[in-house]
Amino acid sequence: MFKSREFFVSLKGKYALFTNPSTKGGGEKATYTVPTRQALQGCVDSLYFKPTFKNVITEVKMMKPIQTEVIGTRALLGNGKADLNYVSYLTNVEYLVRFYMTWNEARPDLINDRNQKKHEAIMERSIKKGGRRDIFLGTRECVATAEYLTQEEYEQAESCYKEDVLSMGIMFQEFEYPAEDKQPLKSYFADIVMKGGVIRFKNKEDCEIVNTLSTYNFKTQQEIKSVDKEFEEYKQMETR
């Protein structure tokens, strides 16, 4: 199976909200203490993503102490009135993320777009420019910035939890989206342990809990911009 070279990125934000599913029903959401793999994939996909490949998050390093802040938010009710909900956010966060790209085998129609060197070059340029789309740490109100890191910078960065081994308990890890229409969506939960400030995510088959959700309908994009054209556009922007 194809695996690109590894990439490293620093994500920083004033607030983060990785919602614990058990708190969603009442409206007063509370965050997990650490980011989920699915949330980090959303951040990385905002840097650079195409249906040709998948971004695979392997680990995250916690750089700042875990701190939370409860904020009251105004919620509109169905009768035209408003209520005050309390949401628990993480504050002053910084995460160092390690990931790579692999080909999306569910899209064999895009085989001609599988140019490893150009995809890797675009990813590196995209990270250095801060991403191609806005980056959110869990929810839209939690905006983040991205900074490119070398492997050496990543490995030398010391977490504030470098001496600790902490159990985060059973957490939602990620979704598995179906490759065909009307197949079930699956959610994976895993026993998360942070060692030395680093969380290494498990493979799906190693997760302790798998939930099968409702069937998932989606539309397949028929045409995408080729990697050759995107790479040329990047080169033109850099010469301006």
How high is the pLDDT of residue 216? 66
Structure tokens at 160: 């504030």
Q: Quote the tokens at residue 234.
A: 């990047």
Q: What is the mean pLDDT of residues 19-35?
A: 82
Confidence of residue 221 (pLDDT cuts 50, 70, 90): low
> Band of the pLDDT at 192, cuts 50, 70, 90?
very high
For 130-152, how does the pLDDT look when each residue is reduced to its tens digit (9 = 90+)? 999 999 999 999 999 999 999 99
Two tokens at 154? 């990543």
pLDDT band (50, 70, 90) for residue 69: very high
**How many Å apart are CA 67 and CA 88, to the nearest integer?**
10
Residue 128 is predicted with a pLDDT of 95
How many Cα atoms are found within 13 Å in the side-chain-facing hemisphere of 208? 8
Interval 85-102: pLDDT, tens: 888 999 999 999 999 999
Task: State yes or no: pLDDT of 116 exceeds 80.
Answer: yes
In this predicted structure, the answer to whether residue 237 has a pLDDT above a threshold of 80 is: no
pLDDT (0 to 100) of residue 22: 76
Question: Is 82 in contact with 76 (CB distance < 8 Å)?
Answer: yes
Taking the C-alpha atoms of residue 98 and residue 152, their distance in angstroms, rounded to an integer, is: 12
Class of domain 7-157: alpha beta
Domain segments of the chain as ranges: 7-157
Per-residue pLDDT averaged across 51-62, rounded? 96
Residue type, 40: L
pTM score of the predicted model: 0.89
Chain-centroid distance, C-alpha 173: 10
Q: Please give the residue that has the higher pLDDT: either 237 or 168.
A: 168
- β-bridge mates for residue 194, sequence order: 166, 199
Give the pLDDT of residue 165: 96
| Strand 198-200 to 53-62 pairing | antiparallel
What single-letter amino acid sits at 159? S
- Cα Rg of the chain, angstroms: 19
- Nearest 5 degrees, angle CA 167-CA 172-CA 176? 140
Q: What is the largest CA-CA distance in the chain?
A: 56
The answer, yes or no, to whether residue 235 has pLDDT greater than 80, is no
